[in-house]
């Protein structure tokens, strides 16, 4: 277990043991269901631990040239790449780093298919389709929302796929259960089943939160096996969150406590908007170690970010004791969709990136400074 007294502030700290536990569970699904599970870099791109990830999973999926290159260089495999649209000057380099390239539209495939045919290694082309079914309620995270730009709609396809397409890809889940997947699969089969006999693989996207407590792993394995056996296709899953789910924290320190007509705010050395943007975008309320939602009779504080954005705060939490300047505040489960989304808005200090190793030692992998801020601007 992490010894928080040793963690610098501010810092993201990943616990290696917990990452390995998640990966072991996911590898178990991969083996038992006979599918390929790859890491979605968009959710977790901490490349220092790619060698660990590579020991358990079959590879990774990229959303851009830079992610594809990172996979190639740091995991030593070619990426499964998908982007809503490819930038013409980047495409040949993307090909170099990719084993699979999925196109968001028939037009995108048409534009690049001749280049693919001339690649120096075999690249398997795929098409993203939109099954028009999702239980994700927030439109920001719902790729199947009305009018979505993500994937060809069923009506846009005729009776056969364009020559050369070897796989279909869909992604409509977010922190979902296997029962939601089951319903999406029914929609996928209904709308696109007529193409399955032409394919080599089907990619079920991400959003499979199999490492969350209570996820029905047996049901998932059954679903995947049944699909694979029925259609004889390679099945690929590309979760992001599930890999780094509950594997570490963001450690911060109270810098000041303000009081505005009885509303006390503990200002910390991290920022919700710059370091945990999903807490404001999704939004969701992060868990803080040792704190609860505000309760009568207990000291309560808003938690304020260190940027000057007025809304950079979380509504009150209660603590057993009055907070003091210098206290450590630990935001739980802050490894996925955090490091990949941070900014240096306001010039705020970027938290260090640390690993709490299995032998209970701390590795400070990266510290950030002025040059990181300056280097993104001109
Ligand atoms: C195409 C695609 N694949 C995979 C993922 C990873 O999803 P998650 O991190 O929810 O598992 C996403 C997330 O947005 C995605 O858009």
152 lines ligand 1 (CB under 6 A): no
Q: Rounded to two decimals, what is the model's pTM? A: 0.97
Q: Report the separation in Å between the CA atom of 239 and the middle of ligand 1, taken as the mean of its atom positions.
A: 6
138 has a pLDDT exceeding 90: no
Instruction: Characterize the bridge pairing of strands 362-366 and 292-293.
Output: unpaired
- Is 135 part of a structural domain of the chain? yes
Q: Which atom of ligand 1 is nearest to the CA of 143?
A: 16
**Is the same domain home to 177 and 316?**
no
| In a shared domain, residues 176 and 79 | yes
> Alpha-carbon distance 197 to 290, whole Å?
54
With contact defined as beta carbons under 8 Å apart, do 152 and 110 qualify?
A: no
Q: Is the CB of 54 under 6 A from ligand 1?
A: no
Mean pLDDT, the chain, whole residue set = 97
241 lines ligand 1 (CB under 6 A): yes
Q: Which atom of ligand 1 is nearest to the CA of 240?
A: 9
Q: Which residues contact 14 (CB under 8 A, 6 or more apart)?
A: 46, 49, 244, 247, 248, 335, 353, 354, 355, 356
Helix axes 178-192, 217-231, angle to 10 degrees: 20
Q: Determine, yes or no, domain membership for 287.
A: yes
Atom of ligand 1 nearest to the CA of 205: 3
Portion of the chain with pLDDT greater than 90, in percent: 97
Residue range 66-106, pLDDT digits in tens:
999 999 999 999 999 999 999 999 999 999 999 999 999 99
For the CA atoms of 175, 181, 187, 190, what is the dihedral angle to 10 degrees? 150
Same domain for 253 and 237, yes or no, is no
What range defines the domain where residue 92 resides? 34-244
Is there a single domain that holds both residue 221 and residue 276? no
User: Averaged over 171-182, what is the pLDDT?
Assistant: 96
Peptide bond into 344 cis (omega under 30): no
282 & 222 share domain: no
Report CA(193)–ligand 1 centroid distance (Å): 23
CA distances from 337 to 41, 135, 140, 251, 340 (A): 10, 20, 14, 16, 6
Structurally, the chain folds into a number of domains equal to 2
Ligand 1 midpoint to CA 240 (Å):
6
Question: Is the CB of 40 within 6 Å of ligand 1?
Answer: yes
Residue 270 domain-assigned (yes or no): yes
Strands 328-331 and 248-260, how do they pair? antiparallel
Say if ligand 1 is within 6 A of residue 126 CB: no
Residue 139 has pLDDT above 90, yes or no: no
Ligand 1 centre and the CA of 7: distance in Å? 30
User: Rounded to the nearest 10 degrees, how much is the dihedral formed by the CA atoms of 124, 128, 131, 132?
Assistant: 170
Q: Tell which one of 64, 84, 205 to mutate to probe ligand 1, the residue whose CB is within 8 A of the most ligand atoms.
A: 205
| 49 & 198 share domain | yes
Determine the pLDDT at residue 141.
87
347-364 confidence digits (pLDDT tens):
999 999 999 999 999 999
- Please indicate, yes or no, whether residues 44 and 176 belong to a single structural domain of this protein: yes
Atom 7 (ligand 1) nearest CA? 206
Is the residue at 19 inside a domain?
no
* CATH assignment at residue 116: 3.20.20.10
For residues 34 and 49, give the distance between their C-alpha atoms in angstroms, rounded to a whole number: 25
Shared domain for 219 and 257, answered yes or no, is no
pLDDT band at 60 (very low <50, low <70, confident <90, very high): very high
Q: Is residue 27 part of a domain?
A: no
Q: Is the CB of 205 under 6 A from ligand 1?
A: yes
In terms of domains, do 174 and 188 share one? Answer: yes
Query: How far apart are the C-alpha atoms of 185 and 24, rounded to whole Å?
Result: 25
Boundary residue ending a domain (211, 244, 277): 244
Q: Do residues 175 and 207 make contact, with C-beta atoms less than 8 angstroms apart?
A: yes
Rounded CA-CA distance 43/40 in Å is 6
N residues, the chain = 378
321 in a structural domain = yes
Asked if residue 29 is part of any domain, the answer here is no
The reply to whether 69 and 84 lie within a common domain is: yes
Rg (CA), the chain: 22
Cα 237 to averaged position of ligand 1 atoms, centre (Å): 10
Assign residue 164 a region (left: φ > 0; alpha: ψ between -120 and 50; beta: otherwise): left
CATH number of the domain within which 287 lies: 2.40.37.10
Classify residue 277: in a domain, yes or no.
Answer: yes
Task: Tell me, in angstroms, the distance from the centre of ligand 1 to residue 236's CA.
Answer: 13
Question: Do both 209 and 143 map to the same domain?
Answer: yes
Residues 195-254 pLDDT 10s: 999 999 999 999 999 999 999 999 999 999 999 999 999 999 999 999 999 999 999 999
**Tokens encoding 357:** 């190793």
Q: Are residues 205 and 138 in the same domain?
A: yes
Say how far apart CA 183 and CA 136 lie, in whole Å: 12
pLDDT in tens, 242-291: 999 999 999 999 999 999 999 999 999 999 999 999 999 999 999 999 99
Is the four-CA dihedral 203, 121, 43, 35 of positive or negative sign? positive
d(CA 131, CA 148): 11
Domain termination site, one of 225, 244, 263: 244
Final residue belonging to a domain, choices 189, 210, 244: 244
Of all protein residues, whose CA lies closest to atom 15 belonging to ligand 1?
A: 206
Closest residue by Cα to residue 86 from 78, 95, 99, 96: 95
Q: Does ligand 1 lie within 6 Å of residue 207's CB atom? A: yes
């Amino acid at each position: 277990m992490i010894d928080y007294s040793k963690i610098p502030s501010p810092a993201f700290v990943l616990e290696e043991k917990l990452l390995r536990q998640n990966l072991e569970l996911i590898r178990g699904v991969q083996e038992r269901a006979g599918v390929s599970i790859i890491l979605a870099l968009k959710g977790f791109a901490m490349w220092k631990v790619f060698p660990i990830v590579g020991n358990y999973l079959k590879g990774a999926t990229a959303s851009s040239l830079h992610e594809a290159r990172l996979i190639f260089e740091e995991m030593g495999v070619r990426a499964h790449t998908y982007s809503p649209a490819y930038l013409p000057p980047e495409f040949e380099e993307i090909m170099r780093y990719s084993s699979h390239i999925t196109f968001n539209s028939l037009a995108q495939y048409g534009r690049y298919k001749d280049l693919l045919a001339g690649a120096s290694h075999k690249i398997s082309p795929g098409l993203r389709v939109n099954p028009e079914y999702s239980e994700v309620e927030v439109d920001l995270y719902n790729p199947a929302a009305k009018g979505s730009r993500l994937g060809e709609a069923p009506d846009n396809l005729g009776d056969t796929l364009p020559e050369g397409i070897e796989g279909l890809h869909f992604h409509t889940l977010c922190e979902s259960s296997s029962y939601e997947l089951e319903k999406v699969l029914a929609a996928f089969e209904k709308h696109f089943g007529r193409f399955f006999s032409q394919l080599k693989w089907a990619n079920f996207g991400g959003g499979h939160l199999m490492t969350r407590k209570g996820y029905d792993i047996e049901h998932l394995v059954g679903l995947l096996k049944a699909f694979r056996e029925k259609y004889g296709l390679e099945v690929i899953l590309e979760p992001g969150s599930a890999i780094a789910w509950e594997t570490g924290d963001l450690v911060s320190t109270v810098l000041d406590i303000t009081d505005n007509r009885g509303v006390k705010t503990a200002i910390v050395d991290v920022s919700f908007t710059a370091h945990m943007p999903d807490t404001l975008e999704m939004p969701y309320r992060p868990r803080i170690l040792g704190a609860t939602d505000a309760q009568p009779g207990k000291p309560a504080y808003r938690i304020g970010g260190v940027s000057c954005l007025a809304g950079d705060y979380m509504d009150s939490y209660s603590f057993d004791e009055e907070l003091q300047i210098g206290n450590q505040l630990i935001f739980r489960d802050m490894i996925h969709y955090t490091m990949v989304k941070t900014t240096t808005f306001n010039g705020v200090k970027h938290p260090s990136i640390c690993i709490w190793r299995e032998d209970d030692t701390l590795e400070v992998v990266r510290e950030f400074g002025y040059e990181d801020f300056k280097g993104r601007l001109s």
